[in-house]
Amino acid sequence: MRPSLAINSEILRYRKSESGPRLLDLGCGDGERAIALASRSFNLVTGLDGAQSLIDLAIQRAVKRRVDVAFVCGDPCATAFAASSFDEVMLLGDLFGHTGTAKSDVMLLREAGRVLKPGGRLHVGFSDGDWIRANYRTEAMEGLPSGFIYRHRALSGDGYSLRTEVLSSGEECGIACQNTMVELLYSPRDVTDLLNRLGFDAITYDAEIGRHTSARGRSIVPRHVVHCKAGRIGTRLRLVP
């Protein structure tokens, strides 16, 4: 899915200038979002992702489109950037909530706060956990031109995570891939509480994003985007119980 810039009106208030904002796309994936921002409104854009293959693809795309973006491969929870390196940090892809554990999500937000200057802005996208709990399907099958994708989902006993077993098949090679994904289910209330306890403030939300049904009749999980400011150094990194 191509990145939707329409949902990010808060971060599009800037325009290119010599002293423009330093922006980090944390978990940039294939670079589409960072490239689009750099070509549309921003300068001084950096994208970081943990997959070297995606970073290589992002670099190729930026060169092809003649857009100046710095792409780096690294751990989003422990980057090599100095403290207060950025004015804006984006977590708008499928990273927050998909790190595997609540501890890793906390580490991710803490790292975002560390590399932000005091008063810098953090923008986080996440799926609506309450909607997922109420609407997820245990089994789903999706046909492909040369095979299928089968998903089996199971909610954890405490209801705060969804485990998905994914099995893909091709006509020529049979079972092509099998993997497991775990998504932590956050409500806006959960995220607001977490951000507050990590010292972020001025928390606001965009309107709910996503339709519940696609043109093909398939469910689409609503998403939220939350904006907040990094607090003082002494508060924004305090531990979460």
State the CB neighbour count (10 A cutoff) for residue 61.
17
Give dist(CA 11, CA 159) in Å, integer: 33
The predicted structure's pLDDT at residue 54:
96
How many whole angstroms separate alpha carbon 38 and alpha carbon 2? 15
Q: What pLDDT score does 232 carry?
A: 60
- pLDDT of res. 174: 58
**Residue 47 and residue 59 in contact, taking contact as beta carbons nearer than 8 Å:** no
Residue 115's nearest CA partner among 152, 73, 77, 84 is: 84
Give Cα separations from 20 to 13, 14, 44, 216, 238 (angstroms): 11, 8, 7, 42, 30
On whether the 5-127+187-236 domain is CATH 3.40.50.150, my answer is yes
- Label the pairing between strands 45-49 and 70-73: parallel
| Domain regions of the chain by residue span | 5-127+187-236, 132-182
For residue 100, how many C-alpha atoms fall within 13 Å in the half-sphere facing its CB?
Answer: 3
Per-residue pLDDT of the chain (241 residues; tens, 9 = 90+): 344 444 355 455 545 555 567 899 999 999 999 998 887 766 789 999 999 999 999 999 999 999 999 999 999 999 999 999 999 999 998 899 999 899 999 999 999 999 999 999 999 999 999 999 999 889 888 776 777 788 889 999 999 999 998 887 766 555 567 788 899 999 999 999 999 999 999 999 986 555 444 444 456 788 899 999 998 644 444 443 3
* The model scores a pTM over 0.85: no
SS3 sequence, the chain? CCCCHHHHCCHHHCCCCCCCCCEEEECCCCCHHHHHHHHHCCCCEEEEECCHHHHHHHHHHHHHHCCCCEEEECCCCCCCCCCCCEEEEEECCCCCCCCCCHHHHHHHHHHHHHHEEEEEEEEEEEECHHHHHHHCCCEEEEEECCEEEEEEEEECCCCCEEEEEEEEEECCCEEEEEEEEEEECCCHHHHHHHHHHCCCEEEEECCCECCCECCCCCECCCEEEEEEECCCHHHHCCCCC
Q: What is the pLDDT of residue 166?
A: 85
pLDDT at 18: 52
* Six-digit token string for 237: 């990194």
CA dihedral (5, 11, 17, 19) positive or negative: negative
Q: pLDDT at position 172, please? A: 58
CA 194, distance to chain mean position in Å, is: 16
